[in-house]
Each structure stands twice: as C-alpha cells, then as structure tokens.
C-alpha cells in the first residue's frame, strides 16, 4: 500500500493518496480581498481542480471540514456550498469557527475523497 504525495513542499503536500483515498490539504480562496461568497466559490473551484488532478471529483468526497472565521457568514457560505454540491452527493461535513492563518481569509476547507477507479 503505497502512499503517493503530490505537489509536496517542505511543510505539506497539496494531495496525498493512499489505498484509494485522497486527502487534500486545506484550501483557501484565490483572492482574499473578496467577500465570503466569492472566497467560498474560488476555494471550491480549487478543490475541483485538485480532485481532478488526483483522479476524483466532488461526487466522491467522503468528508469535508470547513473552517469559517465568523459564523455570521455561515448562511452565505452555505448558499455557495449548497449550489456546488450535487444533489444526492453531500459528504459528511463539519463546520467550525476558527482563527485563520491570515486575517483576510474568511473560509478554509479540508477534503477527504475516494479515488475514482476506472
């Protein structure tokens, strides 16, 4: 059972694959000057890209942990999330309020997914 690390740097790998399971490092937005909806959308766009690179997609997400800076943004973040998740494919999910690595970040997500076996 080999462990595969993709886009590895000193501190972390962006993707780790093991035994048909894909682990993504925490993903944040593309532009931290934007509001919660835009940050959430570009964060999820990055998840789509990484999952495709790893051999999966959003319908194969097993679990998602969402870290949100301020729970007053919860409903707006969920609007974007709800339109992104395909009906019938909602993963197990947790959402917690958290301090962020950079003050301008409003949301971050960590994903575990199943690899698509052809």
Contact between 98 and 22 under an 8 Å Cβ cutoff? The reply is no
- Comparing CA positions, the residue from 49, 98, 50 lying closest to residue 71 is 98
Distance in angstroms (rounded) separating the CA atoms of residues 83 and 100: 25
For the purposes of burial, counting CB atoms within 10 Å of the CB of 118, is it exposed (0-12), middle (13-18) or buried (19 or more)? Answer: exposed
Contact between 9 and 19 under an 8 Å Cβ cutoff? The reply is no
pTM here is 0.94
What is residue 84's predicted lDDT score, i.e. its pLDDT?
98
What is residue 117's predicted lDDT score, i.e. its pLDDT?
82
Q: What is the pLDDT along the chain (118 residues), one digit of tens a residue?
A: 699 999 989 989 999 999 999 999 999 999 999 999 999 999 999 999 999 999 999 999 999 999 999 999 999 999 999 999 999 999 999 999 999 999 999 999 999 999 998 7
Q: At the fourth CATH level, which superfamily is domain 3-114?
A: RutC-like (3.30.1330.40)
Contact between 84 and 55 under an 8 Å Cβ cutoff? The reply is no
Domain boundaries, the chain: 3-114
Angle at which helices 36-54 and 74-84 pack, to 10 degrees?
Answer: 40
What is residue 1's predicted lDDT score, i.e. its pLDDT?
67
């Amino acid at each position: 059972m080999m462990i595969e690390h993709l886009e590895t740097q000193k501190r972390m790998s962006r993707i780790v694959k093991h035994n048909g399971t894909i682990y993504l490092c925490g993903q944040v937005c593309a532009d931290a000057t934007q509001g919660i909806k835009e940050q959430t959308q570009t964060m999820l766009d990055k998840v789509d890209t990484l999952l495709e690179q790893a051999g999966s997609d959003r319908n194969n997400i097993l679990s998602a942990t969402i870290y949100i800076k301020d729970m007053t943004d919860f409903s707006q973040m969920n609007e974007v999330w709800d339109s992104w998740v395909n009906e019938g494919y909602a993963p197990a999910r947790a959402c917690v309020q958290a301090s962020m690595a950079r003050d301008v970040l409003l949301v971050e997500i960590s994903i575990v997914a199943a690899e698509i076996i052809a």
